[in-house]
Amino acid sequence: MTEEVFNQVEVFVSEPVQKVLKTRTFGDSSNRINEICERYLELVRFDMPTLSLNEWVALLDCLNGTLRDASTIQCLEHDISDAIALDQLDKCWNIDGDDFCNRLKAMTYGQKTAIVEVVDRYWSAYGGKSVDANEALESIGAKIAR
């Protein structure tokens, strides 16, 4: 079996993704999907905000088990604000809740997408495991303020 066979995965794409794939009249869908994913990874890396460790952990806590798709990313500061009001998230993780919500509100969609990507990576890699949060977050691309 060749190396190439191991890199193959079956993918079912949504209608919006199908439309994007049809905009390219040359090459194949695999190349196009790889291009888009590689650009996405670069956008996430480029737009990754620097947050304190406690802010990252508060985000992990708040967004654990929630729906995180393209339509909900823009409302990230509302999720945090609600968790502060209902669960005292700011006191639990020793963060300035008002300041954090204001900074989240001022972030670009790309920065919020990068945050959600880190949250998804974290829960996929470390969910249910006892790990050093700082090391785990850094290993998946989070930028942590020193």
All structural domains of the chain with their residue ranges = 3-47, 50-144
Measured CA distances, 98 to 1, 50, 78, 79, 105 (Å): 56, 17, 11, 13, 11
Band of residue 6 on the pLDDT scale cut at 50, 70, 90: low
The DSSP code sequence of 89-144 is HHHHTT--HHHHHHHHHHS-HHHHHHHHHHHHHHHHHHTTS---HHHHHHHTT-EE
Q: What is the pLDDT of residue 30?
A: 83
Amino acid at 15: E
Model confidence pLDDT, tens digit, residues 44-78:
999 999 999 999 999 999 999 887 788 788 889 99
Give the pair of three-digit tokens for residue 7: 């890199």
Give the pair of three-digit tokens for residue 14: 């949504």
The residue-averaged pLDDT of 109-131 equals: 93
pTM summary value: 0.87
- For residues 104 and 38, the answer to whether their CB atoms sit within 8 Å is no
